[in-house]
């Protein structure tokens, strides 16, 4: 009977736990802007993954006879001066934006995570030197760092990712370091030292898992920053090159020459960039609130 009663109690407990849909509803109620941001990011992911099925036309097919057609039933967002469907290029451009944003954000923040945690744990002269290097790093404008990389390695998507990732490292390292400093003083870290655990084991098995909450928030926000950074670099001709669909490159094609005669060529890529950055930033802010214990306790 006791075993049966215990099983019933466990079943009742599990039945009382909110399901996935209830968790989504609770999150949406607490953070409506975060839910909107998540929806925008999800739409971008779906568009990027299923672009061949969603896009109504070939994004790179050139047909000068259909150049600069305004939005109509066939071309919902119109065409550019090469006769390419703008909607299809925006859908395929989400692939470029997400690829650059995710790789640059994850790559740069991972380096910042390792540097920040290591600096906080070792402390002393190492931490002091790290802080001064970070100050110098942050003193250089991101565009100067990007131009330096382009001069050294040339243009292209790979170098755009490298330039953006390098600019993201110091900010992420400082945020992670601030969290790791408090974790370093927790007694179980002292116990790990007393047990003779190596520095690398303490860092990667005991400190890094405990700074993942702020790290995930930083990465989410960094994706939006990376997407926003890629657009002007492609606009300047330093990033993604034709005929690859990219929102910044589409702005470059229609910003000046066709802004009066065919404004849709520049408007829709600008809207796509704005929505992507808005969605990533709002979702990142919502994650920060969810991970903040002071907000959860309210």
C-alpha closest to that of 90 among 250, 258, 253, 236: 250
Q: Does residue 74 fall inside a structural domain?
A: no
> Around 186, how many Cα atoms within 13 Å sit in the side-chain half-sphere?
13
Residues 256 and 251: their CA atoms lie apart, in Å, by 9
Q: What is the mean pLDDT of each run of 10 residues along the chain (298 residues)?
A: 45 47 71 85 91 90 86 87 90 90 91 90 85 84 80 83 90 88 80 79 82 84 86 78 82 69 84 90 80 52
In a domain, 27, yes or no: no
What spatial distance separates the first Cα and last Cα of the chain, rounded to whole Å? 40
CB-based burial, 28-51: b 16+ in 10 Å, e otherwise = beebeebbbbbebbeebeebbeeb
DSSP 195: T
Residue 288 lies in a domain: yes
Residue 243's alpha-carbon distances to 115, 135, 187, 200, 240, in angstroms, are: 38, 39, 57, 46, 9
Q: What is the pLDDT of residues 110-140, one digit of tens each?
A: 999 998 898 888 888 888 888 888 888 888 8
Contact, 127 vs 178, CB < 8 A?
A: no
pLDDT number for residue 64 = 84
Please, is 125 exposed, middle or buried when counting C-beta atoms within 10 Å of its C-beta (0-12, 13-18, 19+)?
Answer: exposed
**What are the beta bridge partners of residue 85?**
79
Other beta carbons within 10 Å of 288: 19
- How does DSSP classify residue 205? I
pLDDT at 15: 43
Tell me how far CA of residue 274 lies from CA of 81, 85, 268, in angstroms.
23, 20, 10
Q: How many domains does the chain have?
A: 1
What pLDDT is recorded for position 256?
64
> Is residue 77 one of the residues assigned to a domain?
no
Q: Is residue 286 part of a domain?
A: yes
Alpha helices, DSSP H, located in 50-196: 51-54, 86-122, 124-139, 142-153, 157-184, 187-194
User: Which CATH number is 124's domain given?
Assistant: 1.10.3720.10
Residue 16 is assigned to a structural domain of this protein: no
- Smallest CA-to-CA distance from 61 within 77, 43, 35, 79 is with 79
**Does residue 28 lie in a domain region?**
no
**CA torsion angle 123 129 135 137 (round to 10):** -120
In 3D space, the residue among 28, 21, 82 whose CA is nearest the CA of residue 57 turns out to be: 82
**Listed residue (169, 172, 155, 145) closest to 248, CA to CA:** 155
For residue 277, being part of any structural domain is answered with: yes
Range of the domain at 268: 87-296
Q: Any idea which residue has 């860092």 for tokens?
A: 203
- The pLDDT of residue 27 is 67
Neighbours of 1 (CB within 10 A): 5
Report pLDDT for 53. 92
Global pTM reads 0.80
Number of neighbours of residue 135 by Cβ within 10 angstroms? 11
């Amino acid at each position: 009977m006791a075993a049966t009663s215990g099983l019933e109690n466990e079943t009742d407990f599990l039945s009382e736990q909110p399901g996935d849909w209830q968790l989504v509803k609770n999150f949406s109620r607490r953070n409506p802007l975060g839910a909107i941001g998540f929806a925008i990011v999800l739409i971008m992911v779906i568009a990027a993954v299923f672009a061949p099925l969603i896009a109504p036309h070939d994004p790179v097919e050139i047909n000068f006879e259909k150049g600069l057609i305004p939005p109509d039933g066939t071309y919902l967002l119109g065409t550019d001066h090469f006769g390419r469907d703008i909607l299809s290029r925006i859908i395929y451009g989400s692939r470029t934006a997400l690829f650059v944003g995710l790789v640059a954000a994850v790559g740069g923040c991972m380096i910042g995570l390792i540097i920040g945690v290591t600096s906080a744990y070792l402390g002393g002269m190492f931490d002091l030197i790290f802080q001064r290097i970070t100050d110098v790093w942050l003193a250089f404008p991101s565009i100067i760092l990007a131009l330096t990389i382009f001069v050294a390695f040339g243009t292209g998507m790979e170098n755009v990712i490298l330039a953006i990732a390098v600019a993201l490292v110091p900010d992420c390292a400082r945020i992670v370091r601030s969290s790791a400093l408090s974790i370093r003083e927790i007694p179980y870290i002292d116990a790990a030292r007393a047990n003779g655990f190596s520095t690398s084991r303490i860092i990667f098995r005991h400190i890094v898992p405990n700074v993942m909450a702020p790290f995930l928030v930083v990465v989410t926000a960094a994706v939006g920053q990376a997407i926003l950074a890629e657009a002007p670099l492609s606009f300047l001709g330093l990033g993604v090159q034709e005929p690859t669909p990219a929102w910044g490159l589409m702005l470059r094609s229609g910003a000046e020459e066709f802004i009066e005669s065919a404004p849709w060529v520049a408007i829709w890529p600008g809207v796509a960039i704005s929505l992507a950055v808005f969605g990533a930033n709002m979702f990142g802010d919502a994650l920060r609130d969810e991970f903040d214990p002071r907000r959860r306790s309210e």
